[in-house]
Amino acid sequence: MAKDSQRLEQEFIATAREKTGHDLQEWMGIVQSAGLEPKMNTILNWLKSDHKLNHMQAQFITGIYLNDGKPVYDYEILFANLLDGKDDLLPAYRALESGIQSRLSDAEFIPTKAYVSIEGKRCFACATLTKKNIRVGLDLGDEPFGEYVQKAKSLGAMPNLTHMVEIAAPADVNANLLDYVERAYKRAHKL
């Protein structure tokens, strides 16, 4: 689940000195002074071999370093990156968020690098912002596809999200869509 990545990253940042001997800012300086090519595998492998960090520690330091010293899983930054150049989709996204939360009070909207994961205890949907619309991915199992609820494509999300509905405006967030979202929630949570 997407929220686990943020939690793990925050825990690493809070305990970096205790677990690695350096705090995050010190690690940023260490990596900078090494003069390595700014590539994920180059830095990651160097941290593991030269500094004996485990894979997760090296991955967090590398990711943060390559993200200009900022946490990779900062939800505001991730959402801003997803929305970049797609500001006209924000009203539809906000309507989707509001509509889902009005029916499913425990639903969380968790931005990732490629999409917004929509989760309760489990991921049951996602919102992938394209240049033209928002693809609302849904966990609907073997329900038949149709003109409205299509086979999922290019969601960037988990394989259990088998279906999608495309929306582009707040009016597209209607009772029909929210009924499908609720069915996906119940399926993922076996209600």
pLDDT tens readout for residues 62-114 = 999 998 898 887 888 889 989 999 999 999 999 999 999 999 999 999 998 89
What pTM value is reported for the model?
0.73
Phi, psi of 58 (to 5 degrees): -65, -35
Q: Is residue 135 part of a domain?
A: yes
175: left (phi over 0), alpha (psi -120 to 50) or beta: alpha
- The total of structural domains in the chain comes to 2
| Tokens 């539809």 sit on residue | 92
36/105 same-domain check: no
104/176 same-domain check: yes
140/171 same-domain check: yes
Select from 66, 96, 120 the last residue of a domain.
Answer: 66
Strand 123-129's sheet: what is its strand order?
Answer: 108-111, 116-119, 123-129, 134-138, 163-167, 150-151
Q: CA-CA distances (angstroms) from residue 1 to 31, 80, 101, 121? A: 29, 20, 19, 9
Give the tens place of pLDDT for each residue, 133-171. Answer: 999 999 999 999 999 999 999 887 677 899 999 999 999
CATH number assigned to the domain comprising residue 168: 3.90.1150
